[in-house]
Amino acid sequence: MSNSSLAEAIEQACLRLEEGSVRTEADVRNIIVNPILGRLEWNLADPGSTKREYAVTGRKRFFFDYALLSGGGAVAAVIEAKAPGQMDENARDQLLLYAMKTSTQVGLTTDGRTWDFYVPLEGGTSAQRLVRSVDLLKAEVEEAAGVLDRYLARDRVLSGKAHRAAADDRARLALQRLVEAGWSDLLSGPSDEIVKTVASAARRAGKKEGLPLPNARSLNVVVRSFVGRGFSFGEPAADLAAPAGSPSERVVEAGGNPKAPSAPKGTAVWTFQGERHVETNPTDLYVAAIGRLYEFVGDEGFYRQLREKIRGRKRAQIAESPEGTGAPKYVRPLPGGWHLNTNLSTRDKLRNLERACEVAGIAFGSDLVVENDGERVTRKRILRPRESGRALAR
C-alpha cells in the first residue's frame, strides 16, 4: 500500500461526498469504505482476510458490516457503517458491546465522512474509549491517510501495531485531558501560592535582564490578572498520530537524555536498547516487551523456544492461533502472527518475561529493565513472594 494510492481513494471519497451521491448505508460501504479498505490491503473477496455481515450472538444477533481477520482467523478489527448523518451514541455503544464479545481490539464506526476509532477492550466509558475522529471533508488528505493507515493498514493490524498505537494514543489523550482539567482548575481562581510563584519568577527574570523591579503589590495584581485568564493546551488530538513506521511509536524517552522523566503513577515502565517505554498497565508491558524481543531476535524460532519455556500444565501460553493458547478470551496478538495469553498474575508475567530474555540471549534486569517506582525489578524481587504484589503495579 502506498500513501499516494490511499490519498487518491480519500480524494475520490471526498468528491463523491461533496456531490451528494452518497445517500444510503450501502453507498457508504460501496463507494467509500470498500475502496479505502482495498488501498489498505484488505482483500474483500478473500473470506480469510475479511468477512461481510459478520454475525455475533448476544441477547440478540448482531451483524458487523466488516470483520477484519488475523492470520489465525480471529477478529482483529470491526467496522460498522452507517448512512450519512446517522452516527450516534447508539451506533457507538452497539459497536463497543459486540466488539467486546469477540475480544476485538480496534473498532470503527463511519458514515463515510466521519471515521471514529475506538479501543473496545480498554477501560472507561464508551466516550472515553474513542481514540481519534477524522472528518474526511475537513482534514487534510495527508492527515486523513496517516490516521487510516495508522489504525487500519492490514500489516499493522495483523502485527498488533495498530492496536498498540491506538491504545497509546488513547492513554496520551486521557492524560492530556486530565492535565488540562487540573491546570484549568488551578487557574480558575488562582491561589496565593500560584500567584506568588509566578510573581517570584517574574521578579527573577526582571533582575536578570536588568529591568526595574515593580513593588510586590503591583506585580501581584498583574500576575493575578494574567494567570486568571486560564490556559488551554489547544486541540487535544491534533498531534497524536505519529507517522506510521517511525522508529518507536511507544518511546517516551530515548537514551540520549541523561535522566528520564518519571512516569505517571500506575503505569508500567520498561527499557530496552536505550529506549524507555511507558505502558498503561502490566499486561500491555508484557505483550509489548515480548513482541519487541521477537523483533530483536528476528526469527519465529524465538516464539517456539519460548512456548516450551513457559508452557503450563494445561496451557501453551503462546501459540500460532488464539485457541492454541488455551485461553482465547484473554489472548493478545504479537508481531509475526503469534498470540499470547495474558490471563496471568503480574508475577507470572514477569517470570515469563525473564524467560523470554533467556531465549533472546539477553539479561533481564540489565539489558531489558522493568521499573517500579523508579527501581529496577530484578529476578530476586520476582521470586520473593511478599514482594510479588509490589514488583509491578497492577
Domain ranges for the chain, please list them: 3-162, 168-227, 251-391
67: alpha, beta or left? (left if phi > 0; alpha if psi -120 to 50): beta
Distance of alpha carbon 350 from alpha carbon 280, whole angstroms: 16
The reply to whether domains 3-162 and 251-391 share a CATH topology is no
Phi/psi of residue 130, each to 5°? -70, 130
Helix axes 216-227, 192-209, angle to 10 degrees: 120
Q: What is the pLDDT of residue 243?
A: 36
Distance of alpha carbon 153 from alpha carbon 158, whole angstroms: 9
- Cell numbers standing for residue 199: 510573581
- For domain 3-162, say whether CATH 3.90.1570.30 is its number: yes
Q: What is the pLDDT of residue 227?
A: 53
Distance of alpha carbon 165 from alpha carbon 77, whole angstroms: 14
Residues of the chain with pLDDT under 50: 229-261, 263, 382-394
Q: What is the pLDDT of residue 206?
A: 74
Q: What is the pLDDT of residue 260?
A: 47
Burial string for 238-253 (b: 16+ CB within 10 Å, else e) reads eebbbebeeeebbebb
Residue with cell 451483524: 63
pLDDT, tens digit (0-9, with 9 covering 90-100), for 179-236:
777 766 666 655 666 667 777 777 777 777 776 665 665 566 666 555 554 433 333 3
Q: What is the pLDDT of residue 179?
A: 73
Q: What is the pLDDT of residue 245?
A: 36
Contact present, 76 and 70 (Cβ < 8 Å): yes
DSSP string, 106-147: EEEEE-SSEEEEE-TTSSS-TGGGEEEEEETTTS-HHHHHHH
Q: What is the pLDDT of residue 31?
A: 96
Class of domain 251-391: mainly alpha
